[in-house]
Structure 1
Amino acid sequence: MANTSIVGFSGNITRPSKTFGFVDHVVSQIGRRNRLSAASWDIEDLGASFATARRASDLGDQAGTILRAVAEADLLVVGSPTYKGSYTGLFKHFFDLLDPTALRGKPVLLTATGGGDRHALIVEHQLRPLFGFFEAYSLPTAIYATERDFADGQPASEAFARRIDQALDEAGAALRSRIGFAVAAE
């Protein structure tokens, strides 16, 4: 299955972004572990047509390509910075442009970043219901991270690294189940 792909989408609106870096790290690890193609995008990649789009057909070429990549991915990794206890508005706007059936059954690994522990439930109380609406398969292990969870772009603690590994293992199992062949695991 040469077209099997892992796609990451981050709801950040600034660059550089810890959220995008985290999503891209997870996407790259899943791709590497399973020898599959992987790509990540964020709000900035969508271009000028995105902010005023009311439907997918209003999107420019770049944004339309990204929206199709998300819909066609075999596994999706999403992440948003926490903004006032939830995902960013532009993150939600992006998913509002998708057909409600586009993610049905698709494995989705949920991630979020925030300034402190009090926002850790964003993945359970905001992201999981959003992808439940789409009837996506949200993987059991979601990952919330703060700045202290990283040192030089790498997990800063054994416990955090184990949580990431657990999510990566679940992603591999979901891929094997979804695409029907033995995805190579390291």
Structure 2
Amino acid sequence: MKLVVVSAGLSVPSSTRLLGDRLAKATAGRVAADVEVVELRELAVEIAHNFTNGFPGRKLSAAIDAVTGADGLIVVTPVFSASYSGLFKSFFDVIDPEALVGKPVLIAATGGSARHSLVLEHALRPLFAYLRAVVVPTAVYAASEDWGAEGLDGRIERAAGELAGLMAGLSGAKPAVEEDLHVVPFEEQLAALRSAG
């Protein structure tokens, strides 16, 4: 299986990347998966060019292929103006809206203080619900004071376990066969009710 981390951190080193790495390590410890990291900082120019010319550059195209071909995603953004970063949103804007349907996603964010932790619920979760991805119940937010403090490790482990469970479950699931489904048109159902009455 393939696990892809999308990190929107801008600095080097980055707390956003560090959180993504810890989540990936915890997930890969539960399910056999190759981990690939997509650093959006390195794709910023190609993302902007994609908006103006409609075509992804070589690196951006490879990143999109990695994300859309993954069995599971970990997406991590720093908080900017009480939401995800513009770079993070722009990357997911250039991906086909149908490409993430049913894909297991773990959402995470970093910020300067705990007061921004609701960004996960009011910004990230709705974005991936719109893309019809399957977002794990536990989201992980790491404020500056969380590093080295109690609680962060437990949230990482719980979220990683949920993502690993979804990845393992979906990889073993057999797709529904449309021929096995018998759909009776609504008009026929109404006609049957009228004749029975």
If the TM-score is normalised by the length of the shorter chain, which range does it land in?
Answer: 0.7 to 0.9
Using the size of structure 2 for normalisation, the TM-score is 0.82
Q: Provide closer, same or farther for how the CA distance between residues 55 and 68 of structure 1 changes in structure 2, counting only shifts above 3 A.
A: farther
Match of 2:9 in 1: 12
Q: Secondary structure at the match of 2:30?
A: helix
Q: Provide closer, same or farther for how the CA distance between residues 19 and 146 of structure 1 changes in structure 2, counting only shifts above 3 A.
A: same
The amino acid across from 2:58 in the alignment is: D
Using the size of structure 1 for normalisation, the TM-score is 0.87
**Alpha-carbon deviations, 1:98-124, whole Å to 9, x = none?**
111100000100000111111000100
- Rg (Cα) greater in structure: 2
Q: How does 1:124-163 map to 2 (within 5 A)?
A: 124-151=121-148, 156-157=149-150, 159-163=151-155
Contact kept, 8 Å, 1:56 with 1:97, in 2: the verdict is: no
User: Following the alignment from structure 1 to structure 2, what is the Cα–Cα distance between the partners of residues 179 and 56?
Assistant: 36
Number of equivalences: 173
Q: Percent identity?
A: 36
Match of 2:59 in 1: 62
Contact kept, 8 Å, 1:9 with 1:42, in 2: the verdict is: yes
Does residue 100 (structure 1) correspond to residue 92 (structure 2)? The answer is no
- Pairwise CA RMSD: 1.7
Q: How does 1:99-118 map to 2 (within 5 A)?
A: 99-118=96-115
Q: Where in structure 1 do 4 or more consecutive aligned residues deviate above 4 Å?
A: none
Unmatched tracts of structure 2, length 5 or more: 174-197
User: Following the alignment from structure 2 to structure 1, what is the Cα–Cα distance between the partners of residues 44 and 143?
Assistant: 28
Does residue 167 (structure 1) correspond to residue 159 (structure 2)? The answer is yes
Q: Provide closer, same or farther for how the CA distance between residues 67 and 55 of structure 1 changes in structure 2, counting only shifts above 3 A.
A: farther
Q: Provide closer, same or farther for how the CA distance between residues 172 and 126 of structure 1 changes in structure 2, counting only shifts above 3 A.
A: same
Q: How does 1:15-30 map to 2 (within 5 A)?
A: 15-30=12-27
Contact kept, 8 Å, 1:45 with 1:63, in 2: the verdict is: no
Q: Secondary structure at the match of 1:9?
A: strand
**Alpha-carbon deviations, 1:33-52, whole Å to 9, x = none?**
31210111221232632222
Aligned with residue 169 of structure 2, among 159, 164, 177 = 177
User: Following the alignment from structure 1 to structure 2, what is the Cα–Cα distance between the partners of residues 175 and 55?
Assistant: 35
Contact kept, 8 Å, 1:56 with 1:64, in 2: the verdict is: no
Unmatched tracts of structure 1, length 5 or more: 182-186
Deviates more, 1:161-170 or 1:126-135: 161-170
Q: Secondary structure at the match of 1:131?
A: helix
Match of 2:32 in 1: 35
Match of 1:85 in 2: 82
Residue 171 of structure 1 deviates from its aligned partner by 1.1
Q: Secondary structure at the match of 1:38?
A: strand
**Alpha-carbon deviations, 1:11-46, whole Å to 9, x = none?**
222222100111122113212331210111221232
User: Following the alignment from structure 1 to structure 2, what is the Cα–Cα distance between the partners of residues 42 and 67?
Assistant: 12
Residue 56 of structure 1 deviates from its aligned partner by 9.4
User: Following the alignment from structure 1 to structure 2, what is the Cα–Cα distance between the partners of residues 10 and 55?
Assistant: 23
